[in-house]
Chain A
Amino acid sequence: MTALLTIQGLDIRAGDKPLVSGLSLSIRPGERIGLIGESGSGKSMTAMAATGLLPTSIRVTGSIELDGQQVVGAPDKTMNRLRGAAAAVVFQEPLTALDPLMKIGRQIAEPVRRRLEREGGKVSKDAISREVRDLIDKVALPQPERIINSYPHEVSGGQRQRVAIAMALACRPKLLIADEPTTALDVTTQAEILKLLDQLVRETGMALLFISHDLPVVSQVVERVIVLKNGVAVEEGAVNTVFGNPQHVYTRSLVEAARLFDEALGATGS
């Protein structure tokens, strides 16, 4: 099967400062990959580059092929066709990812309408609102009527993240990029959102690029991980292999730290 996303020799620089150096990775349809790193490791930069969202002041070289299209240097017109259809992104902070002045129903309707137009189908108001309701159902938001008519600040953080996920799903992307999607959430809410993401990815057969600094969180949703440090991939492999037998000294230090807190919790939990 051909890869959905192929990154080869990716370099990202801001002025003289290298942010990502020589990164290569590929994601096949339906595959779930975790990009692990601490602040400044370049994990979000990589995601932004893959969807062509970096500002022009940041220089990107190398090759990024998303669904068969070259992203590096591609004009906005090409990218606009790819965004949503090939890849959709869920960001960390749902409060800033959503428009504070637009009711949630309308925000979800926007990507639904765009997709229907893209597919060339009939774009009626009824069809859109039916889809919006379906999506709200799918992400298990309670009281759909109230949610549709609420502004982002009127619902909880977990509910906002469900809305953001619904908007990404509305695009029916082949690849879902989730950039620290649960970092801003409480631990009980995080557990719900992770479960939801896992279930949706399985149901729809989307590929998943999950970006996080949190090792246990990553291990819940992906099969394979790539560990980034200062913009360089230092280790890659199956989750259980990398976390069970880390080779690189940096990965080892991360795994040790995560295990220390994990072991402090004892044998309870999942």
Chain B
Amino acid sequence: MILDLQNVSFGYSRQQTTLNNVSLSVRPGVSVGLVGESGSGKTTLLRLMLGLVRPTSGTIRFGDQNLDPGNGTFMQRYRRSVQPVFQDPYSSLDPRQRVVDIIAEPLRSLRIPGDRTQAVADALEAVGLPLDAMRRYPHEFSGGQRQRIAIARAIVAGPQIVLADEAVSALDLSTRIRIVELFKTLSEKLTLVFVSHDLGVVAALCEEMVILERGQVVESGKTRDILASPTHPYTQRLLASIPRMPA
């Protein structure tokens, strides 16, 4: 188990609980999809897992340590192991930086020694972008290419886990399928936690999934099993609501 959440609750204010008693674990090499609709708490859950906010109650463990956003030494090690990819490739890349500097950012801020240009080149190759992308700026790239740059930045430090928040939702279908394929390839080498409202994408990508409804886990397990026989009424409704291709 790399990441383990036990009875995690969180509220942005005292009156409101955004997450209620959530428990889940991320095991090495097993990609997990966190599925829910707007307001289900999936993004908040991801923010907790990134150490951007602390749970109101409950614990998040990383290996044999507690995830403690206040502990700088721990967080440096944690950030090296857990990297995010966000939804909007237009706002998640600094428009004034060259791609090489954007991708090298984790290497700089985490003070990782070694040949940075080589590391960036390797990351670019892994995401299927040409080497000359390095010298260019984000605005020169399409949405799908930008998301590849964001993914390159996430993997450049060699993390164990990539936490992706609706990372393909802003992309057109023909681009989306290629980025999903890229995530699929990457998930052979690292563990993917994929937050999405899109069950089709999660089904194509994740071995396990966790269904959230209004801050609570209503169902979790093997993706295949849940799709074949959803037990919770909400999961059943969610599945029945997805428009399908005509036979």
B-binding residues in A (CB < 8 A): 38-39, 157, 186-191, 194, 213-217, 219-220, 239-240, 243-244, 253-255, 257-262, 264-266, 268-270
Do the beta carbons of B228 and A265 come within 8 Å of each other? no
Q: In the complex the two chains form, is A219's CB within 8 Å of B174's CB?
A: no
Asked if A219 and B176 make an inter-chain contact with CB atoms under 8 angstroms apart, the answer reads: no
Contact of A187 among B174, B230, B238 (CB under 8 A): B238
Known contacts A215-B173, A261-B204, A265-B203: does B228 contact A187 (CB below 8 Å)? Answer: no
CB-based nearest B residue for A221: B243
Contact A260 B174 (CB under 8 A): no
Chain B residues with Cβ below 8 Å from A260 are 177, 204
Q: A264 and B177 in contact (CB under 8 A), knowing A216-B244, A219-B243, A240-B246?
A: no
Instruction: With CB as the reference atom, state the residue of chain A lying closest to B176.
Output: A257
**Can you identify 17 A-B contacts, CB atoms within 8 angstroms?**
A38-B173, A186-B38, A186-B197, A187-B37, A188-B241, A189-B37, A191-B243, A213-B173, A219-B243, A219-B245, A219-B246, A253-B174, A261-B198, A261-B204, A268-B227, A269-B242, A270-B243
Pairwise interchain contact B174-A38, C-beta atoms closer than 8 A: yes
Partner of A239, one of B38, B198, B246: B246
> Across the interface, do B239 and A261 meet the contact criterion of CB distance under 8 Å?
no
Closest CB in chain A relative to B113 CB, distance in Å: 41
Measured CB to CB, the residues of B under 8 A from A are 37-38, 172-174, 176-177, 197-201, 203-204, 224, 227-228, 230, 237-246
Quick one: closest A residue to B244, CB to CB?
A269
Chain B residues lying within 8 Å of A216, measured Cβ to Cβ, are 242-245
Complex: A258 Cα to B201 Cα, angstroms: 10
Q: Which secondary structure dominates where chain B touches chain A?
A: helix
Instruction: Name the B residues within 8 Å of A190 (CB-CB).
Output: 241, 243
A264-B204 contact in complex given A38-B173, A253-B174, C-beta closer than 8 Å: yes
Contact B200 A264 (CB under 8 A): yes
CB pair B173 A257 closer than 8 Å: yes
The answer to whether A243 and B243 touch across the interface, beta carbons within 8 angstroms, is no
B68 to chain A minimum Cβ distance, whole angstroms, is: 34
Take A38-B174, A265-B200 as given contacts and tell me if A259 and B238 are in contact as well, using a CB distance cutoff of 8 Å: no
**Inter-chain contact B244/A262, CB cutoff 8 Å:** yes
* Closest chain A CB from B71 CB (angstroms): 37
Chain B residues near A240: list those with CB within 8 A: 246
Bound complex: CA A190 to CA B203 (Å): 19
Nearest Cβ on chain A to B94's Cβ, whole angstroms: 23
Is the Cβ of B243 less than 8 Å from the Cβ of A214? yes
Q: By the criterion CB–CB under 8 Å, are B245 and A262 in contact?
A: yes
Residues from chain A with a CB closer than 8 A to the CB of B244 are 216, 262, 265, 269-270
- Within the assembled complex, what's the spacing in Å between the Cα atoms of A255 and B230? 27
| B246 contacts across to A, CB distance below 8 A | 219, 239-240, 243-244
Kindly state the separation between the CA atoms of A240 and B245 in the bound complex, as whole angstroms.
9
